[in-house]
Amino acid sequence: MKTLNYIILTLLLIAVSIVGCEDNLELEPEQSLLPEVAVSNPANVQNILTGIYDEAAQIVSYGGQINLASELLANDTDLSWNGTFEQPAQLVEKQLVPDNTFVRDYWLNAYEVNNQANIVLANLDVFEDQTERDRVEGEAKFLRALAYFDLARLFGQSYEATGGNAQLAAPIVLDAVLNPNDITSPSRNTVEEVYTQVVADLQDANNLLPDANGIFADKYAAQALLARVYLQQGNYAGARDAADDVLQNSGHSLTATYGGAFNNDGNSSEDIFAWQITSQDGVNEMNTFWAGSDFGGRSGNPDVSINGSFFDIFDDVNDERSQFFYNTSGGTATTKWQSQFANIPFLRIAEMHLIRAEANFRLTTTTGLDPLVEINALRGRSNAAALGAITLQDIIDERKRELAFEGFALHDIKRLQGTVGTLNYDDDFLVMPVPQRERDANPNLMQNPGYGN
């Protein structure tokens, strides 16, 4: 009888403890939001939009490595790679392997940007204010276009103005992925298809965005990027008109000095759009690789040094741009990225002048300004003597003098059908391989020629 009592007591104790503890198993994270909350109201969707800028500004992308890839892949003798990272060394040697982690991360980051933009675009209905909705849609499309533009330029053969462009670029994915069932295994779209998507997104963005939008993308950022895209396509009229629109209407103007355009904590008058870096947020990866170690650069001091042959392009010793360098133990460093916590200019008004001048020159038009006047104005800002007459080559050289090390090198060579050393602009090894991890995860992706199967 006594035993029975104890057994009852035991069962009772256990029953009580079940009731007491079960509820505790429902825990929610304190640093994260569940998706249904994250897309539930305008403030949160706006936050996701802001998050895309942060994603795009990662070191692997516009924080610096995309620009590095363009400059190093296009390099023959002008630059030396002094760093220890093997991934950029492969760029210099044009010996990329498909498991190069920089290459992998360009791809992954571009699609992270893309998916976050898709999430925002899929949840625009939370906005009741049409103006706000338009702005958010425009920014998301600007960022998505940016991602696809570089996917096409890095992973596909160059856009041929003569048409066709059936060469493979990267898959276009426009549906938001918020749960595992949304994942697809897409095939690569053609260069033509991707450029079409980019142009469509940028035109939408240009229409939807306000004239000014603080540090975020506005109407003219979309228009300026569109000018860059058109130029890459050889659509000179489109490029000219877009650049002209920016120059006429955006309110941005050249800084008083060349140096004034760089190493700024805030945007300069010249910045149509810049990646924001502060000591508390973001990393200026351009500084990491291009600055001496006393200024925050890596141990190559600098990892990318500028060789003597580069300076051949200058035609005037007083040109401020030819003196925008300093010496450290590893060689000559560019001053453009000397400040560790400065913004990274992305769309400068100087580029718009160069685009408009080049397009006008090619089309023998003078929309906005005569090309000679425009080029001399730009030279004048850097104390370079005015030219009496110009050729297309002068404009191209001016472009290099002005925009060196800002990520234009590879794309200009491809556009102008130049060479890198002995490699023709359309050489297989001036295109990145589709990352190995991506092909391991998605069998529908064909590899680029030259990188095995």
Partner 1 sequence: MKVNRYKLFVLVFFISSIALAQQRPISGTVTDSKGLPLPGVNIIIKDTNRGTQSDFDGVYTIEAADGEIIMYSYLGFITKEINVSNQNEIDVILEEDVSSLEEVVVVGFGTQSRRKITANIASISSDQINEIPTPSVQSTLTGKAAGVQVTQLNGKVEGGIKVRVRGISTISSSQEPLYVVDGIPITNADESINDSPINPLIALNPNDIESIDILKDASSAAIYGARGTNGVIIITTKQGKRGKTKVSLNSSYGVSSATNTRDWLNADQYVELITESALNVGISQAGIEGQFDFYANGLDWRTGEVDTDWQELALVDGSVQDFGVSVSGGSEKTRFFMSTAYNNTDGIVRGNQLERYSFRTNIDHNLSEKFRVGTNSSISKSIIDRISNDNAFATPLQAIAQTPLSPAYLADGVTPNNNTTEYYNFLTEEFNGNFKTNIWRILANVYAEYQILPELNFRSEIGYDLLSQVAERFSGSLTESASVGGFGTTNTVQTEKYNLNNYFTYNKVFNDVFDLEGTLGMSYEDSFRRAQFNQGQGFPSDDLQTLNSAAEIVAGGSSRTRFNFLSYFGRATLSIADKYLLKASLRYDGSSRFGEENRFGWFPAASAGWIISEESFLNNSAVVSLLKLRGSWGITGNAGIGNFASLSLFQGSPYNQRAGLAPTQLGNPALKWERTTQVDVGLDFGFLNNRISGEIDYYVKDTEDLLLNEPVPGTSGFPNITRNVGEMKNTGFEFIINTKNIVSQDGSWSTSLNFSTIDNEVTKLPGGDIIAGRNIVREGETVSSFYVVEFAGADPANGDALFIRNTVNADGTIDRSTTNNFNEADRIIAGSPYPDFIAGLTNNVTYKGIDFSFTFQGEWGASIYNNGGRFQSGNARFFDNQTTDQLRRWQQPGDITDVPQARLFSTNGQQASTRYLQDSDFIRLRNLTLGYTIPKDVTKKFYMERVRIYFTGFNLLTFTDYDGYDPESTADFNGDSNIQVGETFYSAPPAKTYTLGINIDF
- Report 328-347 residues binding partner 1 (CB under 8 A): 329, 340
- Window contacting partner 1 (CB under 8 A); options: 17-25, 157-165, 363-371, 399-407: 17-25
| Nearest distance in Å: CB 448, partner 1 | 11
Give the footprint of partner 1 on residues 25-54 (CB under 8 A).
25-35, 37-38, 44, 47-54
Give the footprint of partner 1 on residues 200-219 (CB under 8 A).
215
User: CB-hemisphere CA count at 13 Å for 364?
Assistant: 0
For the chain, what is the radius of gyration of the CA atoms?
Answer: 26
Give the footprint of partner 1 on residues 98-127 (CB under 8 A).
98-99, 107-108, 111-112, 114-116, 118-119
- Window contacting partner 1 (CB under 8 A); options: 173-181, 360-368, 383-391, 398-406: 173-181
CA distance 351 to 378: 10
103: left (phi over 0), alpha (psi -120 to 50) or beta: alpha
C-beta closer to partner 1: residue 134 or 139: 139
Does position 193 interact with partner 1 (CB under 8 A)? The reply is no
The DSSP 8-state label assigned to residue 190 in this structure reads B
Q: CA angle, 169 as apex, 163 and 175 as ends, to 5°?
A: 115
| Nearest distance in Å: CB 7, partner 1 | 9
Sign (positive/negative) of CA torsion 425, 429, 434, 435? negative
Token readout for 154 is 């890095």
Contact pattern from residue 55 through residue 84 relative to partner 1, giving x for each residue in contact according to CB under 8 A and a dash for the rest: x-x-----------------------x--x
| CA 110 from centre of chain | 9
C-beta closer to partner 1: residue 161 or 183: 183
| Strand residue runs (E) in 260-385 | 271-275, 304-306, 325-328, 331-334, 344-348
Contact pattern from residue 415 through residue 444 relative to partner 1, giving x for each residue in contact according to CB under 8 A and a dash for the rest: --------------------xxxx-xxx--
C-beta closer to partner 1: residue 31 or 364: 31
Give the footprint of partner 1 on residues 247-276 (CB under 8 A).
276
Q: Residue 121: count other Cβ atoms within 10 Å of its Cβ.
A: 19
CA distance 46 to 68: 31
Give the footprint of partner 1 on residues 343-402 (CB under 8 A).
none
